[in-house]
Structure 1
Amino acid sequence: MDEPVSHVLDNGVSSGLTLNLHPLAILNISDHVTRDRLTGSKTKITGALLGTQANRQVAVVNTFELALVADVDEATFDQDFLERRKEQFKQVFPTLDVIGWYSVGATPSDEDLRLQEQFSGLVETPIFLQFNTDIPAGAKDLPLTLYESALSEGKDAEAGAKFVKLDYGVETGEAERIAVDGAQRGGMGARDESQVVGSLVTQRNAIRMLYERIEVLSSYVHAVSEGKAKADHNILRQISALLASLPTMDAAVFKAELEDEYADVQIADTFNSLTKQLNALSDYTDRHHVVFPTSSQDDYGPPGARGGKGFDRPEALAGGRRRR
């Protein structure tokens, strides 16, 4: 039996890209694979890579899932879905662009090569990330391999479009390290909760001690100004130096900034809640159209469509069809 043709060039070819992966992208891909296994889906796992590219410096920062559509005997990317998701992410993350895509497998297959060629028509020199789900026990390296396209010269069957393996590193910031650490622990257990409570108690005691010492200094300054205590110029100079080192801020300005920050937090929380509700509504609408395709098209079609009443018509607002 003939061995399958390899789609990876293994002759020391290097493109010279400096590639960095961020933990959020890795977590998103892992979460996608886990959900796909739990749901028992048979469709190919695919998604887009979001990141930045400056000259030969590439950073993969985030991802989003992609949809495939059946085209005769082979599946292709849903380009309309890709463009919509791309525009949505562009509104939230204006600095990020689609720089490639990801899938699952041990080595690139014929389908991966074909999808890479299709993606090349959407993104110039896309990066392909492959997540290997068959992780051997005791493996220490990340089960990720990154490729880019190349052309193999020759007249044999192995000539043509190929993949070139890329070296990469993991780049993370302080916020990402905290998030990854929390995800790795799987939430806050009883021990973590007790540590948090202990830390808060320590901070409260420190603030109380600071408040008591400020009261002592304030009482001393008032007593000196009223002639009830003897003035110690050394202590007064230290108090003056301490006050001079503090940032000067009017109480009204501080209150206004605090209220603005609080309002921003509330707006972000409300926006997050609305986004979740819209996603739930969108899922419900998709399922409703699948279960009741004819009824949905007849009763809730857009205004002016054949058979559609539209939401601005009286019979549609009344919630039922007009009896004849």
Structure 2
Amino acid sequence: MAGKATSSNPLVVTGKAPDTSLNVQLHPLVLLTISDYITRHTLRSQPGPIIGAVIGEQSGRNFTLEHAYQCKLAEKPTGDAILDGQWFEERLEMYKEVHKVPALDLVAVFALGPIEGPQEAHLPVLRQVRELTGSDNIMLLLFHPELVDSLQGGKLPISLYESVEELENDQVQVRFRELAFEVETGDAERIGVNFVATGGGNATAVAKPDNASSIAVASASSSKDKKGKGKAKAKEGEEGETNGAAPINFLSPEDDELISTLNSKVNAIKMLGERLDLIRSYLETLPQSYLTDATSTAAPAETTNFQLLRSVQSMLSRLPLLAPPDSAPENTDPGAEPPANLELAAEKERQDVHLTSLLASLTRSVAEAQTLGSKFTILQRERQTKERSQFGRGPPMRGGFNDDLLADNGAL
């Protein structure tokens, strides 16, 4: 974490490391909101300092910083930055109404600040927020713009402070103690961060049109129907070309997505190259060993990191598995040029598709044959049952001994 407190700042309680008595979890949406607020404030050249509020959940010594929003400032004759009290209370109630389950409340205030820690200019805002909310557990989150370009290794240019009151010369002095925090994220926040990361590559700078062109576009779009709009736009395009203004070409969504994908791959390749250069430079600093020089009898140094060397060896052993095959097939014509790796991969994919289609056809044929066999078995069983029933009943008896006997009895 960046921005550790130093003894040169009288408002910061000196300490070797940030306090870990509080369990503070910082969510990425807070960082995205703060960075977006700073960007818009800078590009629009807005006056006044950057001050905002952070809402989260408090449970004993556990705090979460989940959402942030910018605050409206009010003018003060002394020049100190103060908040618009009525606007602040209304906006806070709106956020608390939206985030009811779980119930969120104001837990921190964010602002810009130096690495040394909070300054005197941060105290009026903090006191005002305490009076408006009636809570003394409001933390101060400082963003350090000067550390944005110099931080590496996943560190963040922010510091989190807890306000404490100390009695000095019979007066209560407000001081700050730096707190340790950890970044916590959820599935929804991962989706939002991924959307922001991919949308950054789609940003396009568009020059603002002059007054004449904007008035022409407005009049053309409001006075004509669809057909008239098309004619007005065509006429406007012709006038723009005749005046020497180059037409603005906007990229399609497919082109934006392609550019974003290529930028992500380029950044990944750059990072991979930097990591490989770092590993190479580390290996070059190591002394010669019997693995690289058979005549060397020197023992490895005591400071040798064998775990790191085993990780490098494991990575090198996996490289052949990741490299694409560059060998030509055996049935290649000796006089012809061997096909490229892309052609070999395409041919293999084509064969796999044909084999899958053939297997599906064979499975379907087997299923149809099985169904036909079942139907034939049922019909055969019905036919045998019918023949058996007819054979058991037999034809009716006519003439013979029984008829003569019946005739004699009747005569009698």
TM-score under structure 2 normalisation?
A: 0.46
Q: Distance in 2 between matches of 1:230 and 1:7?
A: 95
Q: 2:391 aligns to what? A: none
Q: Distance in 2 between matches of 1:215 and 1:93?
A: 56
Specify whether residues 189 and 75 from structure 1 end up closer, same or farther in structure 2 by C-alpha distance, changes over 3 A only. Answer: same
- Report matched runs for 1:295-306 at 5 Å: none
Q: By how many angstroms is 1:219 displaced?
A: 6.8
Segments of 5+ residues of structure 1 without an aligned counterpart are 196-205, 232-324
Specify whether residues 183 and 211 from structure 1 end up closer, same or farther in structure 2 by C-alpha distance, changes over 3 A only. Answer: farther
The answer to whether the aligner puts 1:97 opposite 2:110 as a matched pair is no
CA RMSD of aligned residues (A): 3.7
The code of the aligned residue for 1:39 comes to R
Specify whether residues 193 and 49 from structure 1 end up closer, same or farther in structure 2 by C-alpha distance, changes over 3 A only. Answer: same
The CA deviation string for residues 64-109 of structure 1, in whole angstroms up to 9 with x for no partner, is 1111112342342222212222232233322222212111111312
Kept in 1, the 8 Å contact 2:23–2:61? The answer is yes
Q: Give the 3-state SS of the residue equivalent to 1:43 in structure 2.
A: coil
Q: 2:173 aligns to what? A: 160
- Report matched runs for 1:226-241 at 5 Å: 226-227=372-373
Larger Rg: 2
The code of the aligned residue for 2:85 comes to Q
Specify whether residues 86 and 156 from structure 1 end up closer, same or farther in structure 2 by C-alpha distance, changes over 3 A only. Answer: closer
Q: Distance in 1 between matches of 2:23 and 2:113?
A: 24
Q: Distance in 1 between matches of 2:99 and 2:359?
A: 47
Q: By how many angstroms is 1:52 displaced?
A: 1.1
Specify whether residues 221 and 38 from structure 1 end up closer, same or farther in structure 2 by C-alpha distance, changes over 3 A only. Answer: same
Specify whether residues 221 and 177 from structure 1 end up closer, same or farther in structure 2 by C-alpha distance, changes over 3 A only. Answer: same
Kept in 1, the 8 Å contact 2:56–2:107? The answer is yes
Match of 1:79 among 72, 80, 85: 85
Q: 1:6 aligns to what? A: 10
Specify whether residues 103 and 221 from structure 1 end up closer, same or farther in structure 2 by C-alpha distance, changes over 3 A only. Answer: same
Q: Distance in 2 between matches of 1:194 and 1:44?
A: 38
Q: Distance in 1 between matches of 2:262 and 2:81?
A: 52
Specify whether residues 69 and 40 from structure 1 end up closer, same or farther in structure 2 by C-alpha distance, changes over 3 A only. Answer: same
- Report matched runs for 1:87-236 at 5 Å: 87-94=93-100, 95=102, 96-106=104-114, 107-121=117-131, 122-124=133-135, 125-135=137-147, 137-140=149-152, 141-155=155-169, 160-185=173-198, 186-187=200-201, 189-190=257-258, 192=260, 221=367, 223-227=369-373
Q: Distance in 1 between matches of 2:197 and 2:19?
A: 34
Kept in 2, the 8 Å contact 1:19–1:57? The answer is yes
Q: Give the 3-state SS of the residue equivalent to 1:227 in structure 2.
A: helix
Kept in 2, the 8 Å contact 1:148–1:163? The answer is yes
Kept in 1, the 8 Å contact 2:20–2:180? The answer is no
Q: 1:240 aligns to what? A: none
Q: Give the 3-state SS of the residue equivalent to 1:167 in structure 2.
A: strand
Kept in 1, the 8 Å contact 2:81–2:124? The answer is no
Q: Distance in 2 between matches of 1:160 and 1:211?
A: 80
The code of the aligned residue for 2:97 comes to Q
Q: 1:249 aligns to what? A: none
Q: Distance in 2 between matches of 1:25 and 1:37?
A: 18
Q: Distance in 1 between matches of 2:361 and 2:188?
A: 37
Q: 2:33 aligns to what? A: 28
Kept in 1, the 8 Å contact 2:108–2:140? The answer is yes
Q: Distance in 2 between matches of 1:104 and 1:87?
A: 25
Specify whether residues 180 and 136 from structure 1 end up closer, same or farther in structure 2 by C-alpha distance, changes over 3 A only. Answer: closer
Q: Distance in 2 between matches of 1:77 and 1:135?
A: 27
The code of the aligned residue for 1:130 comes to L
Aligned length in residues: 218
Q: Give the 3-state SS of the residue equivalent to 2:75 in structure 1.
A: strand
Specify whether residues 184 and 82 from structure 1 end up closer, same or farther in structure 2 by C-alpha distance, changes over 3 A only. Answer: same
Kept in 1, the 8 Å contact 2:49–2:81? The answer is no
Specify whether residues 80 and 211 from structure 1 end up closer, same or farther in structure 2 by C-alpha distance, changes over 3 A only. Answer: farther
TM-score under structure 1 normalisation?
A: 0.57
